Amino acid sequence: MRWSRTVVAAGLGVALRVALVGLGTAPSPAMADEAVKIGEINSYTGLPAFTLPYRNGWQMAVEEINEAGGVLGGRPIEVVSRDDDGKPEDAVRAATELLDNEKVVALAGTYFSHIGLAVADFALHHKILFIASEPLTDALTWDKGNRYTFRLRPNTYTQAAMLVEEAAKLPARRWATVAPNYEYGESAVASFKQLLKAKRPDVEFVAEQWPVQGRIDAGPVVQALAAAKPDAIFNVTFGADLAKFVREGSIRGLFDDRSVVSLLTAEPEYLDPLKAEAPEGWIVTGYPWDQIQTPAHQTFLDAYRKKFGEAPRLGSVVGYTTFKAIAAAINKAGSTDSDKLAEAMRGLSVASPFGDITFRPGDHQSTMGAFVGRLAVKDGHGVMVDWRYDDGAAYLPPDDVAAARRPKD
């Protein structure tokens, strides 16, 4: 299990001090007594395209928080980070070590949905706040939600609802789906089917493909989809699997005269590697970082590029906003007590690069939205065009309806 400790500290009237402390090195006793420790867990080696920009984002947020005086009247935030290696059991072991040995007051992070669910269950049983930054499965805050778990990113239901708004306008009646065979893929397909059928009762789903995450055999997948003769395809693959699917599908003509609606595809983490192979015309969710003109995003963009010398990815925004939310919750609670922190998170509003978001009190889901548009290729690179930002609050079911899907706290 890989791990690191990041300490970012600044006292009032004292210059910003940043130390990345390696294995076996601890902060000074004064710092250890004073700092508020947050445990962070993610799949850094398993999905670096997303998680490394995510880490940049939260490091920048923590520096800003501490430079502004920290939390609780001057205490700096210290982040102790662990790599879960893409395995739920490693994530739970990391959470146990962070809680027992590092005495963290909250947990944050995770990428894969099944890992997020495992850490959420740990948080419930150990009564510690967990802000799941990325896992998208609906179950995290609904069917398996709990008092101590909150989620930042818009869930699969929300993003599927945004895509369905466009999918329902297509003449397509016969649909096929392709998604990774774990919690995220299953949740995304279920939500898309439910929502599309509600808007278009005439549609039918004629084929499903469930490749193993990270190990897609694209040839047989594309062949099976083509054999079903769908009018349109809903795609949920991402990362290296997406690149293989796009390449094989393009070679075999799967996308010729056929609409594709695709989750996550225009996020720079997954779009940039496609370069000129980006499939034009796909309806997608993503992050057109270079086209967003709002003051909040411009401030974030300028600071990020100045610090890291590169453009942000969606993971950068997610990491940044996650830790801004943690600091806001600590200050609102006036305490690091888990129950007080959980109560402070309910209804908490936080400024993000995408605008203000709120963690709904009924289901603990944030109202962060997503960008929806189409893919095009310009100057040899895939870009989003004709995009819009959809506020998550407009696509989530009413708070009380969602709350009814949750177990009793």
Measured CA to CA, the distance from residue 262 to residue 178 in angstroms comes to 10
Q: Quote the pLDDT of residue 167.
A: 98
Q: Quote the pLDDT of residue 26.
A: 37
Q: Strand locations in 65-142, DSSP E?
A: 77-83, 106-109, 129-132
At 131, list the tokens: 């802000």
Q: Quote the pLDDT of residue 310.
A: 97
Exposure letters 184-205 (e unless 16+ CB within 10 A, then b): bbbbbbbbbbebbbeebeebeb
What secondary structure letter does DSSP report for 110?
A: -
Nearest alpha-carbon partner for 78 in 92, 68, 65, 94? 65
Measured CA to CA, the distance from residue 109 to residue 81 in angstroms comes to 9
Q: Quote the pLDDT of residue 4.
A: 53
Q: Which residues contact 14 (CB under 8 A, 6 or more apart)?
A: none
Exposure letters 301-333 (e unless 16+ CB within 10 A, then b): bebbeeeeeeebbbbbbbbbbbbbbbbbbbebb
Q: What Cα–Cα distance (Å) separates residue 210 from each residue in 61, 129, 217, 230, 397? A: 37, 33, 10, 16, 27
Q: Quote the pLDDT of residue 30.
A: 45
Mean pLDDT in consecutive groups of 10 residues from the start of the chain, 409 residues: 46 32 36 81 93 97 97 97 96 98 97 96 98 96 97 97 98 98 95 97 98 95 98 97 97 97 97 96 98 98 98 98 98 97 98 98 97 97 97 94 86
User: What is the sign, positive or negative, of the torsion defined by CA atoms of 343, 347, 348, 353?
Assistant: positive
- Number of alpha helices (DSSP H) and beta strands (DSSP E) in the chain: 13, 16
The CATH number of 3-154+293-368 is 3.40.50.2300
Which CATH number does the domain 157-291+370-399 belong to among 1.10.240.10, 1.10.357.10, 3.40.50.2300, 3.30.420.10?
3.40.50.2300
> What is the phi/psi pair of residue 318, to 5°?
-65, -50
Residues 32 and 75 sit within 8 Å (Cβ to Cβ): no
Q: Which residue bears the tokens 């997303």?
A: 50
The ranges of the chain annotated as CATH 3.40.50.2300 are 3-154+293-368, 157-291+370-399
